[in-house]
Structure 1
Amino acid sequence: MAARPTVDDTTTAPARIGYVSLLRTPGAWTFLTPAFVARLPYAMLSLGIVLLVLHTDGSYGIAGAVAATAATAQAVIGPVTGRLSDRIGQAAVLLPVVLVHAVSVSALIALALGHAPAWTLFLAAAPAGASVPQIGAMVRARWVNRLADRPAHLNTAFAFESVTDEFTFVIGPVLAGAIATAVAPAAALIAEAALTVVGGLLFAAQRATAPTRHPAVPGARRVSALASPGVRLLAGCFLGVGTVFGGMQVSVTAFATDAGQGGLAGVVYGVFAGGSMLAGVAYGMADWRRSAQQRLLISYAALVLGCSMLWAMPNLTALAVAGLVCGLAIAPTLITGYTLVETLVADGAKTEAFTWLTGAIGLGLAIGSTVAGLLIDLSGPSLGFLMPLAGAGAGLVALVTLRRLLSSPGSASRTVARSGSTAGAPAWSAVD
């Protein structure tokens, strides 16, 4: 086999690829449209749980902990469904998952409205979170499959996906808050479950664009994507990003409620996500000269700096502005992380690798919402904003200390999937 060319990503950047060119990829819209419907509920679930439990129980601590249970279950089970998707296909995984999700969310609503003991809410929240369909990871795996002959397009594709994620985080909380305020807190979760089922089933039906399955080979040892040290480091960094999401959701809700403007919580959080979305659009259009590793360090440091301002904001307007500034660092961090992780694993483990990062965000969200809720119950809304700062700060320390683990993408096939061919491993550097 001929030696693979190496690319010095510190000095060379590929040609810039526009979004219009990307969206002309054959078959792209057939999976992007239902995927958007199915992804929107992801941004509604945690806030919907917080609003429902807060309405029926009155404790931010309990509300945050129940939401954290769902997020933790999603973080733990998500990579399992990702691996199954790589092996048996996305549709085979999605069909039972969305049905379990609908039943679990319905049970959680019934228990909360019936003022059942708090422990029963946790029992219902666990399967509700575990059955969240991993649409974002599945879409990214489809892009990798569709752009196999055009790897330079992947940075734009991942930028587009991160912008889509952030757009759902703009719309999702606003939608959940509006429905909860205008109708009832339970209605927000009903809408979440309905969108999950409809979007998930429509997405599963798009089999023509699904990536190739990589079934397990009898007698061959298949190592998890998490066996890659670089994937583990990125998962830890994304855990820190998740604490920002979780801490912000609970703290913004508490801050707005304390100010007598609870209905604006979703709007303020949407401004935070909107800053990330705008940064993601610009990031995907830029012709970067710095390496992906350098850009990740810069954007993560900017995230920590933004989080350091949140706790001191005196009113909702100031908090929205600070959240906007903080959000500007989110999408560049996520885009670069997804770009890097794609180079660290072989083809048969890509969906799993993406779900580890998505799951890490969910786990961080669980930790952030739980700790922030406890801090708010202890000393008020402002103290809850220290959780995003602490989580992002820890992620930055890990990234600075262990960043060398992201510089060896060529070992992916040996580390991740020893039973598979190395032909599918990326032949290009860990940059866009």
Structure 2
Amino acid sequence: MSSAPYRNLLRAPGAAAFFLTATGGRIGIAMTGLGIIWLVHGHTGNYASAGSVSGGFAVAEAVVGPQLARLIDRFGQTRVLPPALLAHAAAVTMLVALVAGDSPSVLMTVGGALVGATVPQLGALSAARWVALLREERPAELPSAFALESLSNALGYLAGPTLVSVLGANGHPALGTVLAAALVVAGGGCFAAQRRTAPPPSGAAERSRADRSLLRPRFAVLAGLNLAIGVYFGAVQVSVTAFAVEHHAAAAAAPIFAVSSCGGLLAGWLYGLRRWRTPPRIQLAVATAGLALGSLLLLAAGSPLALGSVIVLTGAAVPPVLVLLSVLAESAVHRAVMTQAFTWLNSASAAGSAAAAAVSGRAVDAFGAHGGFAIAAAATTAMAALAVAGLRAVRERGCVPPAHGS
């Protein structure tokens, strides 16, 4: 298949500049949470403290991120992002100093929370730029743009954690955290400098009318779907590792995750290469059903090889689901709150992942790895049911563009 749809997108005026700079920053964001764990544990030798600080980071990111997005929608990316990046750099500096100074765990947790509260949601900002660039004149290309965003996110979470783990394992945990902050600030700063592609600020009057749009049923359905896929992510991460250990093949966990990620990258790439005649809400029902079926097959896996074969299927189903959720979110909310919408959906997914990691750990302790897979299967089954039941609630505006070959 030709990659012309992606090339055409990146040839749009200013598109390549904001997309590539956001991608660089997203690698840093993907490094930050794990980098905090390496940083704190490397200095204290205590996983409890590391988990506490990392938890403070995650909670603050999920809660404060949408509030920062609200300011960005009102005042504009180019005005709000630079001071937010400076605040993030200061927060990371403070956290590194607190850890190096053997501060009490509660103070380090506060430092981690400040890092999370100031980290910019570059994925949401980049998605909002694609909407501003394409919505009026090239709406048929939005799914391909969101597929690019999905690929950028996947690459970030492949490269970022790997890089910070290599640095941490070789005795440089602080360097990993500093490098993560440098990538976030540099990528975010270059992104903010691309003024011509920035969405116009909404202004107070338009924002006040648009705020209510996030309370509509169709957006609530999308939030629920993102929460469910977050549960799937959290449960699978714990359960695959536990499965490998149970089968005395702990080293197999990394290749299984890698196979799943590569399958997802390929599926996301292929999905974005064509335009689909089927309405997005119907595609979402089919994609979530496929993910649910694959998750149920995880329960039947009896060996690492079998698990790897099944995890490829679930990994391939995830990118189309994520792209479709973005497509439906774009059509479900007013443009004045677009950044908030994407950020809230990211927060819902992060909350689901965090909750599932904790619950799945208990399920694995009680029932083995298949107990964790059962949680993933339950989440994806509920997701498929919600996608079908909520079809009317997430009905997109306008007509579906005709399909064409790639």
Same fold at TM > 0.5? yes
Structure 1 spans left out of the alignment, 5+ residues: 1-15, 411-426
Residues 146 and 209 in structure 1, CA contact (< 8 A), matched pair in contact too: yes
| Distance verdict in 2 for CA 1:379–1:198, change over 3 Å | farther
In 1, Cα distance between equivalents of 2:360 and 2:86: 31
Q: Aligned partner of 2:177: which letter?
A: L
For the pair 1:80 / 2:67, whether they are aligned, the reply is: yes
Per-residue deviation at 1:340? 1.0
Q: Report the residue type matching 2:347 in the other structure.
A: G
Picking from 114, 133, 136, the partner of 1:127 is 114
Q: Does 1:137 align with 2:124?
A: yes
Instruction: Calculate the TM-score normalised by the size of structure 1.
Output: 0.80
Match of 1:343, as an amino acid? S
Aligned residues of 2:74 and 2:207 also touching (Cα < 8 A): no
**Distance change >3 Å, CA 71–CA 319, structure 1 → 2:** farther
- Corresponding position of 2:26: 39
Does 2:324 correspond to 1:336? Answer: yes
Are residue 90 (structure 1) and residue 77 (structure 2) matched? Answer: yes
Identity %: 38
Q: 1:320 to 1:400 in 2, by over 3 A?
A: same
Please state how far the C-alpha of 1:268 moved relative to its aligned partner: 4.3
What is the rounded CA distance, in whole Å, between the counterparts of 1:256 and 1:111 in structure 2?
A: 36
Q: Structure 2 CA distance, aligned partners of 1:328 and 1:198? A: 32
TM-aligned CA distance change 1:368 to 1:403, over 3 Å: same
Q: Is the 8 A contact 1:171 1:270 kept in 2?
A: no
Aligned residue in 2 for 1:24:
11
Q: 1:191 aligns with which of 179, 184, 199?
A: 179
AA matched with 1:94: L
What do residues 349-396 of structure 1 show as CA deviations (whole Å, max 9, x unaligned)? Answer: 222222122222222222223333454566766644444334333333
Letter in 2 for 1:293: R
C-alpha separation in 2, matches of 1:167 and 1:351: 22
- What aligned pairs does 1:102-251 form with structure 2 within 5 A after superposition? 102-109=89-96, 117-147=104-134, 148-217=136-205, 221-251=209-239
Distance in structure 1 (CA, Å) of the matches to 2:183 and 2:252: 23
Other-structure match for 1:9:
none
Cα separation, 1, equivalents of 2:312 and 2:39: 26
Kindly provide the CA deviation profile for residues 194-217 of structure 1, in whole angstroms up to 9, marking residues without a partner as x. Answer: 211111111111112111111112
Q: CA deviation at 1:289?
A: 2.9
**Structure 2, gaps ≥5 residues long:** none
Aligned amino acid, residue 112 of structure 2: A
Relative to structure 1, the CA distance from residue 130 to residue 305 in structure 2 (aligned partners, 3 Å threshold; closer, same or farther) is: farther
CA contact (8 A) 1:162 1:334 kept: yes
Q: Distance in 1 between matches of 2:102 and 2:375?
A: 29
1:109-142 CA distance string (max 9 Å, x none) = 5555666555444433322222221111111111
For 1:273, the equivalent position in structure 2 comes to 261
Structure 1 residues 402 and 222: alpha-carbon distance in aligned structure 2, compared to 1, 3 A threshold: closer
How many residues are treated as equivalent by the alignment? 399
Output the TM-score relative to the length of structure 2. Answer: 0.84
Q: Which one of the candidate residues 265, 276, 295 is aligned to 2:283?
A: 295
Work out the CA distance in 1 between the residues paired with 2:368 and 2:195. Answer: 50
Q: Indicate the RMSD between aligned Cα atoms, in angstroms.
A: 3.4
Amino acid at match of 1:18: P
CA contact (8 A) 2:214 2:333 kept: no
* TM-fit CA distance, 1:310: 4.4
- The 1:379–1:189 alpha-carbon spacing in structure 2 relative to 1, beyond 3 Å, is farther
Structure 2 counterpart of 1:348, from 331, 336, 339: 336
- What CA distance in whole angstroms lies between the structure 2 residues aligned with 1:79 and 1:245? 21
Q: Matches of 1:100 and 1:388 in 2, distance apart? A: 37
- DSSP 3-state at the match of 2:272: helix
**Deviation (angstroms), 1:429:** 4.9
- The residue number in structure 2 matching 1:360 is 348
Q: Please report how far the alpha carbon of residue 161 of structure 1 lies from its aligned counterpart in structure 2 after TM superposition.
A: 1.4
- TM-aligned CA deviation for residue 292 of structure 1: 0.9
Distance 1:120 1:360 in 2: 27
Is residue 68–residue 367 contact of structure 1 (8 Å, CA) maintained in 2? no
Most deviating of 317-326 and 231-240:
317-326
Alpha-carbon distance between aligned partners in 2 of 1:293 and 1:65, rounded to the nearest angstrom: 39
Equivalents in 1 of 2:130, 2:171: separation in Å?
A: 38
Deviation at 1:402, TM superposition (A): 2.6
Is residue 14–residue 194 contact of structure 2 (8 Å, CA) maintained in 1? no
